[in-house]
């Protein structure tokens, strides 16, 4: 089963929309009040690393409202289908209270990125409906010494290492508190993802899909060892509540925490602002290329035709 992005009309952004090409629907729909023409292909959303304070001129009231509208319109699309937008939307939204001309440039680049990419398609494969989670965190990679947590939630089979599937939820979340180490940031990320997974488990069980302990993957060996009581850390008052909560939930058999290398952790994508090449290389891991979708449809049509032929 696949879920595609639709092409909504946003008159409050000053754009009258007819019927856009299917591969450009959402991007054309939100190109916005600045009446930009379709850009050349842009393979990356705006990047925003932990830099010095922005001293660009502040936007007026009209510009501030435009930034807020772009974030609001694209946030639903990012949460529902195109998860590649979540990190840049989060970065821009963190500035929307006091936006500058730099923020406007980032918002326009985000609109151009959406418009120049093919329509986002999520594909879900049949599974045993067991919830699985990948968790990761980027340490001190946001302004004001903040870190970013990322999560990838999907439904899969009951296996030691569940195979990936279409995402039912992705999270790109700036951790509000300053983390004292990479391990503490990873534990904070695991804590955030596990809290989200608790209610998803309840929903699935109410729907009749009994859940085994939810596997949660991390790429930080120390965080996994702390939670699984393989090591007993000292001087961890700042982390006590988080890792003790995670230990408690694991003892209740709600979760099972395990380690795998970072290159196999799908949540890594939402913890950093990546270069264009990385976006191009990993996009097919999260979204289905339209070429693959069309090949699948043609195969289905051939199967139906073969089934209707007289024997």
pLDDT tens for each residue of 198-218 = 999 999 999 999 999 999 999
Same domain, 11 and 60: yes
* Crossing angle (nearest 10°) for helices 61-80 and 101-116: 40
Q: Name 135's bridge partners.
A: 151
Summarize the confidence of residues 111-123 as an average pLDDT: 87
Domain residue limits at 114: 2-120
Residue 217 lies in a domain: yes
pLDDT band at 103 (very low <50, low <70, confident <90, very high): very high
Q: Are 62 and 38 in a shared domain?
A: yes
Residues 21-75: pLDDT tens digits?
Answer: 343 455 545 554 444 555 545 556 765 544 556 788 999 999 999 999 999 989 9
86 shares a domain with 171? no
- 94 and 136 inside one domain: no
188 and 61 in a common domain: no
Q: Average model confidence (pLDDT) for the chain?
A: 83
CATH code where residue 266 lies: 3.30.420.10
- Most confident listed range (147-151, 172-176, 228-232): 147-151
**Displacement of CA 204 from its chain's centroid (Å):** 21
> Is 115 found in the same domain as 53?
yes
Residue 131 lies in a domain: yes
Q: How confident is the model at residue 151 (pLDDT cuts 50, 70, 90)?
A: very high
Residue 119 has pLDDT above 60, yes or no: yes
Q: Is residue 225 part of a domain?
A: yes
Least confident piece of the model among 3-7, 258-262, 307-311 = 3-7
- Do 165 and 56 sit in the same domain of this protein? no
Would 256 be classed as within a structural domain? yes
199 and 106 in a common domain: no
**pTM confidence score:** 0.82
Q: Which residues contact 86 (CB under 8 A, 6 or more apart)?
A: 78, 79, 170, 171, 172, 270
Q: Is there a single domain that holds both residue 64 and residue 150?
A: no
- 170 and 260 within one domain: yes
The first and second tokens of residue 174, run together, are 């700036």
Q: Is residue 40 part of a domain?
A: yes
**Domain finish residue from 95, 120, 145:** 120
| HSE-up of residue 297 (Cα within 13 Å, Cβ side) | 9
Buried b (16+ CB within 10 A) or exposed e, 225-251: bbbeeeeeeeebeebeebbebbbebbe
How many distinct structural domains can be found in the chain? 2
Q: Give 145's contacts (C-beta < 8 A, 6+ positions apart).
A: 50, 178
Q: Is residue 294 part of a domain?
A: no
The three-class DSSP label of residue 175 is strand
- Asked if residue 223 belongs to a domain, the reply is yes
Lowest mean pLDDT among 172-176, 198-202, 293-297: 293-297
Q: In which residue are the tokens 């994508």 written?
A: 269
In a domain, 289, yes or no: no
* Listed residue (116, 118, 96, 109) closest to 34, CA to CA: 109
**Is the Cβ–Cβ distance between 237 and 180 less than 8 Å?**
no
> pLDDT tens digits for 224-237?
998 998 887 776 66
The pLDDT value given to residue 26: 53
Please identify, among 66, 87, 120, the residue that sits at the C-terminal boundary of a domain. Answer: 120
Same domain for 131 and 72: no
Mean pLDDT of 231-246: 73
């Amino acid at each position: 089963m696949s879920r595609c992005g639709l092409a909504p009309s946003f008159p409050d952004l000053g754009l009258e929309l007819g019927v856009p090409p299917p591969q450009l629907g959402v991007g054309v729909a939100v190109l916005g009040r600045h009446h930009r023409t379709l850009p050349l292909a842009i393979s990356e959303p705006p990047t925003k690393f932990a830099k010095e304070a922005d001293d660009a001129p502040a936007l007026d009231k009209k510009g501030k409202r435009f930034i807020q509208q772009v974030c609001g319109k694209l946030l639903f699309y990012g949460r529902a289908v195109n998860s590649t937008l979540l990190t840049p939307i989060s970065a821009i939204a963190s500035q929307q209270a006091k936006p500058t001309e730099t923020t406007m440039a980032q918002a326009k680049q985000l609109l151009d990125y959406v418009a120049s990419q093919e329509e986002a398609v999520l594909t879900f494969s049949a599974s045993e409906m067991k919830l699985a989670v990948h968790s990761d965190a980027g340490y001190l990679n946001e302004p004001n010494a903040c870190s970013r947590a990322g999560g990838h939630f999907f439904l899969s089979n009951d296996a030691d290492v569940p195979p990936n599937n279409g995402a039912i939820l992705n999270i790109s979340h700036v951790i509000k508190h300053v983390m004292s180490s990479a391990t503490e940031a990873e534990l904070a990320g695991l804590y955030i993802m596990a809290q989200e997974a608790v209610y998803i488990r309840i929903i699935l069980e109410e729907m009749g899909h009994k859940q085994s302990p939810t596997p949660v993957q991390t790429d930080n060996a120390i965080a996994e060892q702390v939670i699984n009581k393989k090591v007993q850390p000292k001087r961890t008052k700042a982390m006590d509540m988080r890792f003790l909560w995670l230990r408690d939930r694991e003892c209740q058999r709600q979760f099972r925490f395990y380690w795998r290398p970072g290159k196999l952790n799908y949540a890594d994508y939402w913890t950093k602002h990546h270069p264009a090449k990385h976006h191009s290389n990993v996009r097919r891991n999260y979204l289905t290329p339209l070429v693959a979708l069309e090949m699948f449809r043609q195969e289905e049509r051939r199967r139906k035709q073969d089934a209707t032929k007289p024997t």
